[in-house]
A = this chain, B = another copy of it.
């Protein structure tokens, strides 16, 4: 384990300055005088503020990133002392909860004092985003503030899609922790375990190895494959002929891994063996297709060719991988309608899957970063043959 990294959290001011400079360049391209942020990951990206309190929906939090100068925080009083420790200079707060004016007057005056060059502020209005404040308050703000609030999602995703060296370090670290835990899991599993027990063994191992949290760990089983990959575990007992699918989004210092593994109980049918092998090969091909200059469609297409030879049914996931970082899933998507150009320092999942018979789906997944010359695998590759638990 990288114990040095394990004992550190957070980023230097220099890292935040670097992110801000890059963001302001992109904001300039999109003609935005600022961006308004309300969600945990966007706020953390620009300020470093980490809190467990996002679990409470009672209070909204706001950060405004102007076209020049440092971000400004407008936060409930409960968060003020901790925000004072960030690299920000300007932190405003109000006594919250106060639904009758939940920070809106303060936010409005902050936005009105932003220097107006283009006359518009980008907000989290678009794809793969939601805005974390009461919409009722957003409507009121939008109507009364003296600057246009527009969709800033393209700009925000442009900013976050290319990772810094420090971000990549953390994603690599959590991928390595989860890989080791997956690799030691077969020795802990046995026929007769429940899905829930299997998942808990992996979860506790990942925490013990130094992950900060395991917010995502579906575990699903079925004879020869699974019908879905997002709900569960249940108390279903793992029996001879079952496939157990486990996926995990575990985090370190805010950054996610996102990859899965499959285990056969008792035996694997020849069909399962074949599908597993095809997906292993499709993953290989997907990794090799992920080079700077290619598009997400190219990656999709390369994998889809291999998969289509076995099954035309595809699967219900709707894509064959996606971006990864402060969120479990981020743009872009490897799918037929997404033509995002692959660039250096993107972090992506390669996730081919297929439903070879009704209710029998198998999905593989690995994580990569894009280097100058192509993809670098940052998960420890799934075994070429499906592990069999006796």
A interface residue numbers (CB < 8 A to B): 7, 9, 49-53, 55-58, 76-82, 95-100, 102, 123-136, 138-139, 151, 153, 200, 203-204, 207-208, 215-218, 227-232, 234-235, 249, 316-319, 322, 327-329, 333, 335, 337, 359
Q: How far is the CA of A350 from the CA of B237 in the complex (A)?
A: 40
Cα(A318)–Cα(B59), bound, Å: 11
For the complex formed, measure the closest distance between the CB of A216 and the CB atoms of chain B, giving whole angstroms.
4
Q: Which of B130, B151, B249 contacts A133 (CB 8 A)?
A: B130
Question: Whole-angstrom distance between the alpha carbons of A135 and B77 in the complex?
Answer: 27
Q: Which residues of the partner chain B approach A81 to less than 8 Å between Cβ atoms?
A: 227-228, 316, 359
Which chain B residues border A49 with CB–CB below 8 Å?
231
Q: A79-B230, A98-B337, A138-B135 are in contact. Are A216 and B55 (CB under 8 A)?
A: yes
Q: How far is the CA of A333 from the CA of B207 in the complex (A)?
A: 34
Q: Considering only CB atoms, which chain B residue lies closest to A127 in the complex?
A: B99
For the complex, give the distance between the alpha carbons of A207 and B217 in Å. 14
Q: For the complex, would chain A's binding face be called helix, strand, loop or mixed by DSSP majority?
A: loop
Q: Are A78 and B9 in contact (CB under 8 A)?
A: no
Contact indicator A318/B129 (Cβ below 8 Å): no
Known: A228-B78, A235-B9, A318-B78. A218 touches B52 (CB 8 A): yes
Query: Could you list some 22 contacts between A and B, CB below 8 A?
Result: A9-B235, A51-B230, A52-B230, A53-B216, A55-B215, A55-B327, A57-B129, A77-B316, A78-B228, A80-B316, A81-B227, A82-B231, A96-B318, A97-B128, A97-B318, A97-B319, A97-B333, A123-B135, A126-B134, A130-B130, A130-B135, A136-B153
A318 to B52, CA, bound (A): 17
Smallest beta-carbon distance A169→chain B, Å: 18
Chain B, residue nearest A151 (CB): B136
Taking a contact as CB atoms under 8 Å apart, the answer to whether B134 and A125 are in contact is: yes
CA distance A230 to B52 in the complex (A): 6
Q: Residue among A58, A79, A127 with the most chain B CB within 10 A? A: A58
A78 adjacent to B317 (CB under 8 Å): yes
Contacts A100-B337, A215-B215 given; does A316 touch B52 at CB 8 Å: no
In the bound assembly, the distance between CA atoms of A187 and B135 in angstroms comes to 47
* Residues of the B chain whose Cβ atoms lie less than 8 Å from the Cβ of A135: 123-125, 130-131, 135, 138
Q: Is the CB of A127 within 8 A of B153?
A: no
Instruction: Give the distance in Å from the alpha carbon of A248 to the alpha carbon of B134 in the complex.
Output: 25
What are the 8 A-B residue pairs with the smallest beta carbon separation, nearest first?
A: A53-B230, A99-B127, A56-B329, A77-B316, A55-B216, A125-B135, A125-B136, A82-B231
A48 to B263, CA, bound (A): 28
Given A52-B216, A204-B207, the answer on whether A58 and B128 have CB atoms closer than 8 Å is yes
User: Which residues of chain B have C-beta atoms less than 8 A from A317's C-beta?
Assistant: 78
Report how far A235 CA is from B6 CA in the complex, Å: 10
- A228 B52 Cβ-Cβ under 8 A: no
- Known contacts A51-B218, A51-B231, A99-B128; 13 additional CB pairs below 8 A are A7-B235, A52-B215, A52-B231, A55-B216, A76-B318, A78-B318, A80-B316, A82-B228, A125-B139, A126-B134, A126-B136, A130-B131, A204-B204
